């Protein structure tokens, strides 16, 4: 077994699969609310999937990377499900509020 903890080159090759998601909320506040809400859900297998989120110009940016395509697909799919729920919640309960 190879120890990759002290070898950044080997560690980088571990994260072979990646994808990016950009969602335009057209509001910095809405994007921040969704980002904060989804940030509490950590990846179930952080040694196999990593997720980084940021907000800029009213958009939520999410970068996923994984050791295998199946882990990337599962993580992305689960994330989109909760993203959809958070977005629908804002649409439903944010009516009349300055968001």
Report the pLDDT value the prediction gives residue 56, as an integer from 0 to 100.
Answer: 97
In eight-state DSSP terms, residue 67 is: S
What's the pLDDT tens digit per position in 62-91?
Answer: 999 999 999 999 999 999 999 999 999 988
What's the pLDDT tens digit per position in 16-40?
Answer: 999 999 999 999 999 999 999 999 9
Report the pLDDT value the prediction gives residue 11, as an integer from 0 to 100.
Answer: 55
Domains in the chain, please, with CATH?
14-92 (3.30.310.50)
Report the pLDDT value the prediction gives residue 91, as an integer from 0 to 100.
Answer: 85
Report the pLDDT value the prediction gives residue 20, as an integer from 0 to 100.
Answer: 97
Report the pLDDT value the prediction gives residue 54, as an integer from 0 to 100.
Answer: 97
């Amino acid at each position: 077994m190879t120890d990759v903890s002290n070898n950044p080159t080997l560690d980088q090759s571990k994260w072979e699969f990646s994808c990016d998601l950009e969602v335009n909320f057209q509001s910095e506040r809405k994007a921040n609310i969704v980002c904060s809400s989804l940030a509490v859900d950590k990846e179930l297998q952080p040694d196999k999937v990593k997720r980084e989120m940021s907000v800029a110009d009213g958009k939520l940016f999410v970068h996923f990377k994984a050791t295998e395509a199946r882990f990337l697909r599962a993580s992305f799919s689960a994330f989109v499900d909760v993203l959809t729920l958070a977005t629908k919640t804002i649409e439903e309960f944010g009516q009349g509020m300055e968001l």
